[in-house]
C-alpha cells in the first residue's frame, strides 16, 4: 500500500499469508529439492518489486535468535557469499577468526504480517559456515538438520515434534531489562487457567499473537491463559523436527513483537515470579516411517511400542547429563520446584505431571512421549538434537539396575547441572569436545554472576545475565 504516494512495499492479507506459508511448509515436509526451492524463491524475489529486504536468521549456541536484514538486490547478487562477525556472538568464534559465513536455507522461508514486522520484508533461516565453507560446529540448527537427513537417507525414519511453549505477559516495555531497577514484574491479568475476559489485555494479546501464528503457517490448534496470572500458551500442529525447532524461535519472536506493539513484555524466563507456576516448553516427540507412527502399538503398555519404551528409557538413563541442555539458566532451576507441578522426577508416567516424561493419551496417529522438564529458554535445536540422539543411541540402564532403581531427581541448581554435564562422556561425544566445553563455560560464566543459593526471592543477576534478555550492555558492565 502506497504511503503518501512515495512508498509501495509488500503487504499481504492474513488469509493469503497463511496459504503462502502453508505451501512453503508442505514443500519442506515433501522434501522438495532445496535447489528447486531456491530457484523458485529467487525468481519470486526478483519479480516482486515491493520487497525491500530479506531478514536472514540464525541461532547461537545458547538459543538466542539473531537477525540480519539484507537489501533484496544485494542478497540476490551475493546470497552465496554472506558473512558476519562471529566474534560478537557469545560462544561462537574468537576475535582472531571472527568472520563466519551464512548459507540460506531456502525452504525455511516465511512471509510476514506487515502490521507486526513492517511492510516489504520476508524472512528466511540460515545456517552458519566456517570461513572455508565447512559446517560451523556450534550451529546446532545445521547439526540437527544433518542428523535428520542422515537418518532419512539410511532407513526412511522421520522425526516429528511439537512444543507447548508457555510465557508470561508483563506490564510495560522491556520489563526484563528494567528488572534490576524495579525488582518486580507486574501482571496484566490475574484470571488464571482458561479464564480471561474477551477484552482484557491478556486475551487481546493471545488473540493477536495467535492471528500472526496462524498467518505464518503454524497450523493453530488451541490457545488459552495458563495456570499462573498473566501466563499464556498457544498450541500448534505437530511437524517434522526441523520445522518444529524453527517454529519455537518464531513463536517467541512473534510473541515478543506483538506484546511490544501493545506496550507490554512477553517473557519466556522459566520462573520470573516465585509463588506461582513457572513457564515450561513441553517437548513432544515421535518417530515415523512410511507414514507409520513407530511409537504406537495397539495393546502395548500405555499404548507405546517397544521402540518408544527403549527411546524413553535411554532419555531417563541420561537425564542428569541432559539437564543443563534442557534447563540452561540459573532461573530455570526455580521452575524445578515440586510445589508447582514441577517435572523434576526422573521417571515416566501417563498421569503424574511431576514426572520428567509423560505419555499423553493418543491413538495410532498422535501417540508420542512428552518431555516435560524442558524450559522455554532452551536452545530448541540443541534440545531436539540431544533428545533424539540420546533416545536412539544413548547408553541405557542395565535391566537389573532399572528394576531396582528408586525415583531419582533432576538437579535443583545450575552448578550441579554444569558439573554433571561436564563430567558426562556421552554428552562430550554427542556434542563434540568443542561445543561441550564452550557450552559449559558459557553457562558457568552466567552462574558465577549470580548468587549460588537460589533462595526464595528472584535475584537481579538471574534476570540481568539471562541469555535471552537483550541486555548485552549490562553483561559488559559486570
- Out of 141-145, 189-193, 362-366, pick the least confident: 189-193
Q: What's the pLDDT score for residue 296? A: 94
- 404 has pLDDT over 60: no
Under a CB-based contact definition with an 8 Å cutoff, are residues 324 and 440 in contact?
yes
Cα atoms in the 13 Å half-sphere on the side-chain side of 314: 17
What is the architecture, at CATH level 2, of domain 2-136? Roll (3.10)
Under a CB-based contact definition with an 8 Å cutoff, are residues 342 and 277 in contact?
no
Which residues, in sequence order, are bridge partners of residue 123?
A: 55, 110
- pLDDT tens-digit map of 266-281: 999 999 999 888 999 9
Q: DSSP string of 296-353?
A: B-TTSGGGB-HHHHHHHHHHHHTHHHHHHHHS-STTHHHH--GGGT---EEEEESS-T
Which residues, in sequence order, are bridge partners of residue 293?
A: 288
At the topology level, CATH places domain 157-477 in Creatine Kinase; Chain A, domain 2 (3.30.590)
The rounded Cα 338 to chain-centroid distance in angstroms is 24
Q: What's the pLDDT score for residue 217? A: 97
* CB neighbour burial string for 431-447, b if at least 16 within 10 angstroms, e if fewer: beeebbebbbebbeebb
In whole angstroms, how large is the CA radius of gyration of the chain? 22
Placement of cell 541405557 in the chain: 396
- Cell readout for 239 is 511437524
When comparing pLDDT for 150 and 407, which is higher?
Answer: 150
- Cell readout for 351 is 498421569
Q: Is 110 helix (H, G, I), strand (E, B) or coil?
A: strand
- Cell readout for 265 is 513484555
Residue 326 φ/ψ, nearest 5 degrees: -80, -20
Placement of cell 516465511 in the chain: 110
- pLDDT tens-digit map of 316-327: 999 999 999 999
How much is the pTM?
0.95
Which residues, in sequence order, are bridge partners of residue 168?
A: 231, 267
Q: Would you mind telling me the total number of residues written for the chain in this entry?
A: 478
Q: What's the pLDDT score for residue 245? A: 98
What is the C-alpha separation between 6 and 298, in angstroms, rounded?
64
Domain residue limits, the chain: 2-136, 157-477
Amino acid at each position: 500500500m502506497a504511503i503518501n504516494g512515495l512508498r509501495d512495499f509488500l503487504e499481504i492479507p492474513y488469509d493469503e499469508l497463511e496459504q503462502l506459508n502453508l505451501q512453503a511448509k508442505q514443500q519442506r515436509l515433501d522434501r522438495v529439492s532445496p535447489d528447486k526451492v531456491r530457484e523458485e524463491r529467487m525468481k519470486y524475489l526478483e519479480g516482486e518489486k515491493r520487497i525491500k529486504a530479506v531478514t536472514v536468521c540464525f541461532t547461537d549456541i545458547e538459543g538466542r535468535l539473531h537477525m540480519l536484514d539484507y537489501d533484496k538486490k544485494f542478497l540476490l547478487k551475493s546470497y552465496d557469499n554472506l558473512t558476519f562477525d562471529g566474534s560478537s556472538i557469545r560462544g561462537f568464534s574468537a576475535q582472531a577468526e571472527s568472520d563466519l559465513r551464512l548459507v540460506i536455507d531456502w525452504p525455511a522461508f516465511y512471509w510476514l504480517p506487515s502490521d507486526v514486522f513492517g511492510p516489504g520484508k520476508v524472512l528466511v533461516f540460515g545456517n552458519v559456515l566456517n570461513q572455508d565453507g565447512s559446517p560451523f560446529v556450534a550451529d546446532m540448527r545445521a547439526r540437527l538438520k544433518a542428523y535428520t537427513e542422515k537418518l532419512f537417507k539410511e532407513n526412511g525414519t522421520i522425526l516429528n515434534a511439537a512444543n507447548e511453549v508457555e510465557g508470561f505477559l508483563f506490564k510495560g516495555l522491556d520489563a526484563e531489562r528494567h528488572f534490576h531497577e524495579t525488582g518486580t514484574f507486574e501482571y496484566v491479568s490475574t484470571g488464571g487457567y482458561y479464564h480471561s475476559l474477551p477484552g482484557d489485555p491478556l486475551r487481546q494479546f493471545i488473540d493477536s499473537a495467535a492471528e500472526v501464528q496462524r498467518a505464518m503457517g503454524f497450523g493453530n490448534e488451541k490457545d488459552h491463559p495458563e495456570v499462573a496470572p498473566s501466563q499464556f500458551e498457544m498450541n500448534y500442529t505437530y511437524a517434522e523436527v526441523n520445522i518444529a525447532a524453527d517454529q519455537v524461535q518464531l513463536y517467541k519472536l512473534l510473541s515478543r513483537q506483538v506484546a511490544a506493539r501493545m506496550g507490554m513484555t512477553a517473557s519466556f524466563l522459566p520462573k520470573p515470579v516465585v509463588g506461582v507456576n513457572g513457564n515450561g516448553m513441553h517437548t513432544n516427540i515421535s518417530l515415523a516411517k512410511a507414514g507409520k507412527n513407530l511409537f504406537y502399538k495397539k495393546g502395548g503398555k500405555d499404548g507405546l511400542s517397544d521402540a518408544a519404551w527403549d527411546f524413553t528409557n535411554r532419555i531417563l538413563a541420561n537425564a542428569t547429563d541432559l539437564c543443563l541442555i534442557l534447563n540452561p539458566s540459573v532461573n530455570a532451576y526455580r521452575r524445578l520446584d515440586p510445589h508447582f507441578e514441577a517435572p523434576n522426577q526422573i521417571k515416566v508416567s501417563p498421569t503424574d505431571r511431576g514426572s520428567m516424561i509423560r505419555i499423553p493419551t493418543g491413538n495410532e496417529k498422535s501417540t508420542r512421549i512428552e518431555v516435560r522438564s524442558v524450559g522455554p529458554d532452551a536452545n530448541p535445536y540443541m534440545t531436539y538434537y540431544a533428545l533424539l540422539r540420546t533416545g536412539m543411541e544413548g547408553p541405557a540402564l542395565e535391566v537389573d539396575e532399572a528394576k531396582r532403581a528408586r525415583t531419582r531427581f533432576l538437579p535443583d541448581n545450575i552448578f550441579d547441572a554444569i558439573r554433571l554435564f561436564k563430567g558426562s562422556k556421552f554428552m562430550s561425544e554427542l556434542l563434540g569436545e568443542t561445543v561441550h566445553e564452550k557450552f559449559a563455560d558459557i553457562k558457568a560464566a552466567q552462574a558465577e554472576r549470580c548468587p549460588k543459593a537460589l533462595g526464595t526471592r528472584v535475584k537481579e543477576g538471574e534476570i540481568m545475565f539471562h541469555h535471552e534478555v537483550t541486555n548485552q550492555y549490562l553483561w559488559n558492565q559486570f
